Amino acid sequence: MNPIITRRSFLGNTTLVGAGLAAGSLFAVEPSAGAQKLKFGVIGCGGRGSAAVKDFMAACKILGCEAELVAAGDAFKDKADALGKAHKLAPERCFGGFDNYKNVIASGCDYVLMATPPSFRPLHFDAAVEAGKHCFIEKPVAVDPVGARAVIATGEKAKAKGLAVVAGTQRRHMAEYLRNKALIDAGAIGEIKGGVVQWNGTVPWIKRRNEGESNASYLARNWLNFNELSGDHIVEQHVHNLDVAVWFLGRLPVTAIGFGGRARRETGNMFDFFSVDLDFGDDVHIHSQCRQLAGSYGRIGELFTGTEGVCYGGGKLKGKEVSIPEIKLDTDNGQVQEHVDMIRSVMTGKPINDAKSIAESTLVAIMGRIAAYTGELVRWNDLVKNTESPHYNYACTPTALDFEKGEVTLPAEVPPIPGKA
């Protein structure tokens, strides 16, 4: 039976915003039109950073305020310049080098958008919060347990300072996902007993090393193929689906066991595929499956099987009749809505703080990667609590600070061997 929403009027026509559907995420006050000019900067001027700048501007338009890009930073000055040029930003406001983030943060902006490779996120995020900036942090937010825990700690600092922190997990800002989450919470599929989350696609891109190129430059350009910078694709890409699992189940996995391997990746040291069993306790297991192999069958999404129905992520839901509040967002574009939600939360004095949830989802993905790389059973507590565990202090090198200091050793371009890693 398809669920029927019978209580649409519960929240009237109020716009629902924010990552959750709790009444607490409803904002009582709308920002006054045209009241403010929002100054923002961006760190990481690649595909996502460039798009996030436009998304932020689109969000400001929706909210009736002005946006002013005041700084752009990238490890490579020409990339910062290119983004700057597209937005009529003066060249002296475009910064290169691995300390570019310091200049962006010091540029007089109120908001910082962070879209570098994830290994740099903990350092940049902390610097931005220290300086009192509202932060948009692209997913994932770390590549190792040390980094993920640092993001949680910085998130607490942001909370104490009243700063907004919004993650680039756009599914949490899309009506179809919010609706299914609300239906599940209202009992539409009963109790979730298991599921599968998948990102089966191809290697997005590779970059070859140029002759005479430094380690730092090669790694920063080809970051998507090195686990020390990207977290491997289970973290970098599949975190989206794992985040949905954690969000829909409302809890974290207890253990992970899995495997993976490399069939024909051409650069770097990552796996091509992972298959990980996540045990969420109470006999509930979620299968996490991801693959980057051209020519293979593609499927991206989530499926949850409940005692009384089934839900496909933000798609079809078959189950019991329940009633939920109406969900009405400002835009169908989750990547714009996330900025609307961030800005509105600041304007209404109720800053959203996604730091913990995105750090935890990132850590779930890291847990899966460690399980596959080592062949071991990995416990959540080994990543967050058990300081005696070798996984607890696991930090990938080169670190973000190594790049800044110019001390970058190239990791071996061979994948880990399970049982020996």
Ligand X SMILES: NC(=O)c1ccc[n+]([C@@H]2O[C@H](COP(=O)([O-])OP(=O)(O)OC[C@H]3O[C@@H](n4cnc5c(N)ncnc54)[C@H](O)[C@@H]3O)[C@@H](O)[C@H]2O)c1
Binding flag, residue 77, ligand X (CB under 6 A): no
User: Within positions 253 to 312, which residues make up the interface with ligand X, using CB under 6 A?
Assistant: none
Which is closer to ligand X, CB of 9 or CB of 214? Answer: 214
> Exactly one of 144, 236, 341, 376 binds ligand X (CB under 6 A); which one?
236
Cα separation, 228 vs 119, in Å, equals 7
Site membership for ligand X, residue 227 (CB under 6 A): no
Taking CB under 6 A as the rule, does residue 118 contact ligand X?
Answer: yes
For every residue of 24-53, DSSP letters joined together read: GG--S-PPPTT--EEEEEEE--SHHHHHHH
Residue 48 as a binder of ligand X (CB under 6 A): the answer is yes
Pseudo-torsion of CA 134, 140, 146, 152, nearest 10°? 40
Q: Is residue 380 at the binding interface for ligand X, with CB under 6 A as the rule?
A: no
Q: Which stretch binds ligand X (CB under 6 A): 37-45, 191-199, 260-268, 371-379?
A: 37-45
228 binds ligand X (CB under 6 A): no
Rounded to a whole number of angstroms, the minimum distance from the CB of residue 231 to ligand X is 9
Q: How many CA atoms lie within 13 A of 306 on its CB side?
A: 25
Interface residue with ligand X among 105, 115, 164, 249 (CB under 6 A) is 115
Residues 396-415 that bind ligand X (CB under 6 A): 403
The one among 3, 18, 41, 73 contacting ligand X by CB under 6 A: 73
Stretch that binds ligand X, among 40-48, 57-65, 297-305, 341-349 (CB under 6 A): 40-48
Classify residue 353 by its DSSP letter.
Answer: B
139 in contact with ligand X (CB under 6 A): yes
Task: Tell me the CB-side half-sphere exposure of residue 282, using CA atoms within 13 A.
Answer: 7
What is the DSSP code string of 153-189? HHHHHHHHHT--EEES-GGGG-HHHHHHHHHHHTTTT
Taking the complex as a whole, the smallest distance from the CB of residue 76 to ligand X amounts, in Å, to 5
**Least CB distance from residue 379 to ligand X, whole Å?**
26
Residue 52 C-beta: closest distance to ligand X, Å: 8
Window of 38-46, 174-182, 255-263, 362-370 that interacts with ligand X by CB under 6 A: 38-46
Nearest to 42 by CA among 131, 130, 135: 135
75 vs 79: CA distance, rounded Å? 8
Choose between 137 and 192: whose C-beta lies nearer to ligand X: 137
Cα angle: 239, vertex 60, 343; to 5 degrees: 60
Q: Does 43 bind ligand X (CB under 6 A)?
A: yes
Instruction: Report whether 340 contacts 27 (CB < 8 A).
Output: no
Query: Per rule CB under 6 A, is residue 79 in the interface with ligand X?
Result: yes
Residue 173 Cβ vs ligand X, minimum distance, rounded to whole Å: 11
E strand or H helix at 136: strand 134-137
Give me the least distance between CB of 199 and ligand X, in Å please.
11
Beta bridge mates, 301 = 198
Beta strand 285-292 with 273-279 is antiparallel
The vertex-116 CA angle with 115 and 118, nearest 5°, equals 100
CB of 160 vs ligand X, minimal distance in Å = 26
Which of 3, 41, 44, 309 is in the footprint of ligand X by CB under 6 A?
Answer: 44
Site map 166..195 versus ligand X, x via CB under 6 A? --x-x-------------------------
Residue located via tokens 């069939």: 263
CA 126 to chain centre: 16
Distance of closest approach, residue 37 Cβ to ligand X, in angstroms: 25
Q: Which residue has the tokens 């059973």?
A: 377
Q: Does 122 bind ligand X (CB under 6 A)?
A: no
Pairing relationship of beta strands 192-201 and 299-306 according to DSSP bridges: antiparallel
Check residue 47 for interaction with ligand X (CB under 6 A): yes
CA distance 88 to 110: 19
- The binding site for ligand X (CB under 6 A) comprises 43-49, 73-76, 79, 98, 100-101, 115-118, 120, 138-139, 168, 170, 220, 236, 403
